[in-house]
Chains A and B, each alone.
Chain A
Amino acid sequence: MYRYDEFDAAFVADRVAQFSDQIARRLAGDLSEDQFKIHRLMNGVYLQLHSYMLRIAIPYGVLSSRQLRKLGEIARRYDKGYGHFTTRQNLQLNWTALSDVPAILSELASVEMHCIQTSGNCIRNVTADQFAGVAADEIEDPRPYAEILRQWSSLHPEFTYLPRKFKIAISGARQDRAAIQAHDIGLQIVRNDKGETGFRVHVGGGLGRTPMIGPVIRDFLPVEHLIAYIDSILRVYNLNGRRDNKYKARIKILVHEKGIDWMRREVEADFAARPDQRLTLPQADVDAIAAYFTPPALPARAAQSSASDARAKADSSFAAFRANNVMAHKVVGYGAVTISLKPIAGIPGDITADQMEKIADLADRYSQGEIRVSHEQNLILPHVAHDDLPALHDALAAMGFGEGNAGLVSDIIACPGLDYCALATARSIPIAQHISRRFGHPARAAQIGPMKIKISGCINACGHHHVGHIGILGLERRGEETYQLTLGGSADERSAIGQITGPGFSADEIVDAVETVTDVYLALRNSPSESFIEAYRRLGMAPFKTALYERNTGADI
């Protein structure tokens, strides 16, 4: 993984010193909240319902065991002993004292981490496929490009005060696991007819109150122009994006209002007008960054593991874990293991300090000291030998993370919702817990098959509900929590925005409504191999809607 050079270390140290001074001046009363707020937001400090929340950047979801151990130490020492992994591959601490932030940032800097640009109207933490560099279906590892984008965008003087926040995601595999079309810029690594590597560039995707799937602005962008072209996109957005209304300030609104053809013309014109090649990426620099991501030298292993096979025959829990949580690795005899942070009836994405430290130890023992964070709020050990799967599963089960439910109905994305978030209008976590409990039995989850349920506690859609196969949006109506249901969303290479089923449901009704949807699916699917999303695409909304509202119990929202 990438290691800081002297410049990086000095850069982060300077920022820690600068923000620590700003905090000291705020606590001393030399800065008002209005003056201070923009600084704290640029450094990942929010004021939430119960306390300050600190959002720690995990660049493109890559962590070392040393870093995860440090995160656990910080959570224990400065917070309440736990943290929450988010859909942006970040870690949030929910109970941070402002007066502790300088010490926390110094601790983070000691392991090459920071909170820069995890909030504010700037280019946020670049996210990527959690299986980058590992997945058997990968065209090329996206992490070097994500790192180049991180370096280019950090404290970029022209793009620090954009009309609104700006999110970039990158995938290097044929299957999009990074939800790139739901981002302001989505980058898909592709190869052209000559076998050259480049990017298909999507622009203007996003969720929130106006969900959009990002259209393609460029089918093939040569690697050397990656920064120059994105620079042009940002410039066109910065100059033309709306600043009069924060709800219409994202690039998706600009692209939607002006059209993708206008956007393409403007970007290409800006790109062509800057032929001085200052931003052209020298291949030597790309290679130098890529060298940090050289795959570990994994010892050769047999394709089949008799130990793993024997255990799977004898232990259905392990069999489910192996079937659902182990992804094919480029290297024969290895797998990338998803550690589900979705124990049945647990809080999606939450993890204690003890669990962080134990997973760091497991990463050292079984995965070359590497951990990944997925936007689906799980952790990944990317390089696990099949022979080690039984012992790893035992260790995970002992800490409460042995569930073999990755990609299934209980692998739910949920934002913190009204239990923590100052913006939320309804709770998300209890709904996730109830659904998880209802569908928690492995046999039932296996019967339903691949299913992505995503829950947001407000219209800002941090829980990605628009792109859930089943999406749930929590709203407040006349003082009561109400939940709107959407179906048919997806965040993969066939990204789509889900359609609202109709009137919303109360907190008491929403889990039954989800069960109604799954019952209709099970009754109408062509065969067990037809997944929910495939069946929905074939059947459309009608049968689900009929079943949901035949009792006419929905509240009108």
Chain B
Amino acid sequence: MSKAFVAKVVSANRLADGRVVFLESDRTRWSENFRVAGVWRDAESEAAALAAAQVSAAANIVLDVVSIEVTGEGDKLRPIALREYIRASLRPTVAPRMPDGFALDTTLGGGI
């Protein structure tokens, strides 16, 4: 019996500023918002998303394209790996001692 497919989201870093972005469901646009990422629930759609992402990489829009495993549905969707959870939250998990205007959540995953 084949292993069950784990849903994926395709992520990368934007070339010009390095920020974490996610491929949206139209397989064209990239967003910093994990909530609008396209979720690929079978191998074919994941492959098509990765191919589209590589077109963006070749066009020098993004770099370091990766497919990340996710779990949950809708608002509960989240990356499985802590590393990707931290990337998707767009911030470190640690309580900051930062200047005004850069208030970080102190809880893991405050951004997603």
Q: Does A420 contact B (CB under 8 A)?
A: yes
Q: Please pick, from A52, A82, A430, the residue contacting B18 in the complex, using a CB distance under 8 A.
A: A52
- Digitize B1-44: 1 where CB-to-A-CB distance is under 8 Å, 0 elsewhere: 00000000000010111111000000000000000000000000
Residue of A nearest to B102 (CB): A80
Residue of B nearest to A23 (CB): B16
Q: Please pick, from B94, B101, B102, the residue contacting A430 in the complex, using a CB distance under 8 A.
A: B94
> Is A419 a contact of B94 with CB atoms below 8 Å?
yes
| Cβ distance A347 to chain B, nearest Cβ, rounded Å | 6
Considering the chains assembled together, what is the distance between the CA atoms of A189 and B53 in angstroms?
55
Q: A81-B102, A97-B18 known; 4 other A-B pairs, CB under 8 Å?
A: A47-B63, A50-B20, A80-B102, A352-B98
> Is B97 a contact of A343 with CB atoms below 8 Å?
yes
Q: Please pick, from A26, A82, A418, the residue contacting B86 in the complex, using a CB distance under 8 A.
A: A418
Q: Does A388 contact B (CB under 8 A)?
A: no
* Known contacts A98-B17, A99-B17, A354 near B99 by CB under 8 Å: yes
Q: Which of A29-88 contact B (CB under 8 A)?
A: 29, 33, 47-52, 76, 80-82
Residue of B nearest to A82 (CB): B98
Q: Does A303 contact B (CB under 8 A)?
A: no
Considering the chains assembled together, what is the distance between the CA atoms of A264 and B90 in angstroms?
50
Which among A47, A49, A345, A427 has the greatest number of chain B C-beta atoms within 10 A?
A49
- Digitize A73-114: 1 where CB-to-B-CB distance is under 8 Å, 0 elsewhere: 000100011100000000000001111000000000000000
Q: Does B67 contact A (CB under 8 A)?
A: no
* Known contacts A419-B92, A479-B80, A81 near B18 by CB under 8 Å: no
> Is B81 a contact of A479 with CB atoms below 8 Å?
yes
Considering the chains assembled together, what is the distance between the CA atoms of A345 and B106 in angstroms?
13
> Is A47 a contact of B18 with CB atoms below 8 Å?
yes
| Cβ distance B91 to chain A, nearest Cβ, rounded Å | 7
B96 proximity list for chain A (CB < 8 A): 347
- How many of B's residues come within 8 Å of A, CB to CB? 30
Q: Does A410 contact B (CB under 8 A)?
A: no
Q: Does A203 contact B (CB under 8 A)?
A: no
19 contacts between A and B (CB under 8 A): A28-B60, A47-B63, A50-B19, A50-B87, A81-B102, A82-B99, A96-B18, A98-B17, A99-B17, A343-B97, A350-B97, A352-B97, A353-B99, A354-B99, A419-B86, A424-B83, A430-B94, A476-B82, A481-B82
Q: Please pick, from A48, A52, A347, the residue contacting B94 in the complex, using a CB distance under 8 A.
A: A347
Q: Which of B50-106 contact A (CB under 8 A)?
A: 57, 59-60, 63-64, 80-83, 86-87, 90-99, 101-102
- How many of A's residues come within 8 Å of B, CB to CB? 39
B57 proximity list for chain A (CB < 8 A): 33
Considering the chains assembled together, what is the distance between the CA atoms of A481 and B81 in angstroms?
11
B19 proximity list for chain A (CB < 8 A): 50-51
A26 proximity list for chain B (CB < 8 A): 15, 60
A354 proximity list for chain B (CB < 8 A): 99
Q: Does A442 contact B (CB under 8 A)?
A: no
Q: Does A272 contact B (CB under 8 A)?
A: no
> Is A97 a contact of B59 with CB atoms below 8 Å?
no
B99 proximity list for chain A (CB < 8 A): 76, 81-82, 352-354
Considering the chains assembled together, what is the distance between the CA atoms of A361 and B10 in angstroms?
47
> Is B97 a contact of A80 with CB atoms below 8 Å?
no
Residue of A nearest to B89 (CB): A50
Considering the chains assembled together, what is the distance between the CA atoms of A279 and B99 in angstroms?
49
Considering the chains assembled together, what is the distance between the CA atoms of A231 and B33 in angstroms?
51
Q: Which of A124-159 contact B (CB under 8 A)?
A: none
B102 proximity list for chain A (CB < 8 A): 80-82
Residue of A nearest to B64 (CB): A47
| Cβ distance B32 to chain A, nearest Cβ, rounded Å | 10
- Digitize A325-336: 1 where CB-to-B-CB distance is under 8 Å, 0 elsewhere: 000000000000
Q: Which of A3-41 contact B (CB under 8 A)?
A: 26-29, 33
> Is A429 a contact of B92 with CB atoms below 8 Å?
yes
> Is A81 a contact of B87 with CB atoms below 8 Å?
no
| Cβ distance A83 to chain B, nearest Cβ, rounded Å | 11
* Known contacts A354-B99, A481-B82, A427 near B93 by CB under 8 Å: yes
A96 proximity list for chain B (CB < 8 A): 18
Considering the chains assembled together, what is the distance between the CA atoms of A537 and B64 in angstroms?
47
Which among B59, B64, B93 has the greatest number of chain A C-beta atoms within 10 A?
B93
Considering the chains assembled together, what is the distance between the CA atoms of A98 and B86 in angstroms?
21
Considering the chains assembled together, what is the distance between the CA atoms of A350 and B102 in angstroms?
14
Considering the chains assembled together, what is the distance between the CA atoms of A28 and B80 in angstroms?
35
Q: Does A367 contact B (CB under 8 A)?
A: no
Q: Which of A409-423 contact B (CB under 8 A)?
A: 418-420
> Is B94 a contact of A97 with CB atoms below 8 Å?
no
A400 proximity list for chain B (CB < 8 A): 97
* Known contacts A81-B101, A354-B99, A418-B83, A52 near B90 by CB under 8 Å: no
Residue of B nearest to A99 (CB): B16
A429 proximity list for chain B (CB < 8 A): 92, 94
> Is B18 a contact of A347 with CB atoms below 8 Å?
no
Considering the chains assembled together, what is the distance between the CA atoms of A347 and B95 in angstroms?
8
> Is B18 a contact of A346 with CB atoms below 8 Å?
no
| Cβ distance B107 to chain A, nearest Cβ, rounded Å | 11
Q: Does A374 contact B (CB under 8 A)?
A: no
